[in-house]
Structure 1
Amino acid sequence: MSTPENNLLGLKRVREMTSLGKSTIYRMIAGKQFPRPLRLSERRVAWRQSDINDWLDTRAKS
């Protein structure tokens, strides 16, 4: 059974949740300031919802 913490999110949903653009997300990943996505295939990545939620919580506390 899938729980929200185990859901995988595509770039579109991550952008909606964070209000960040694609370039900003990838720049932050390169700077180790944003969770790395999982590679699902050669051209497809996704993020764990729990990783994004944790990142958002950390940003809210700072």
Structure 2
Amino acid sequence: MKMLSKRQVTELVLYSPQHIARLEAAGRFPLRVKLGHNRVGWVEDEILDWLQQRINVRNQQH
């Protein structure tokens, strides 16, 4: 299992850290994992699945 940093996630999904936090709070984005005192990460497969869901929605609309 690979973990992604906040920087990696923001580069991958093209959202700001603030927007990602809002989506997480609303239950609309994979939740972060606390890795240490000042460190969080996201499970790469969960982020990729979330992106794939966005692509699937787009494809269903066309």
- With normalisation by structure 2, the TM-score equals 0.89
Identity of aligned residues (%): 30
Runs of 4+ in 1 over 3 A off after TM superposition: none
When normalised by structure 1's length, the TM-score is 0.89
Q: Could you say what the CA RMSD is over the residues aligned between the two structures, in angstroms?
A: 0.5
Q: 5 Å matches for 1:1-62? A: 6-62=1-57
* CA deviation map 1:10-60 (0-9, x unaligned): 000000000000100000000000000110012110001000000000011
Instruction: Extract unaligned runs of 5+ from structure 1.
Output: 1-5
**Paired residues, number:** 57
Bigger radius of gyration among the two: 2
Structure 2 gap segments, 5+ residues each: 58-62
Equivalent position SS for 1:23: helix
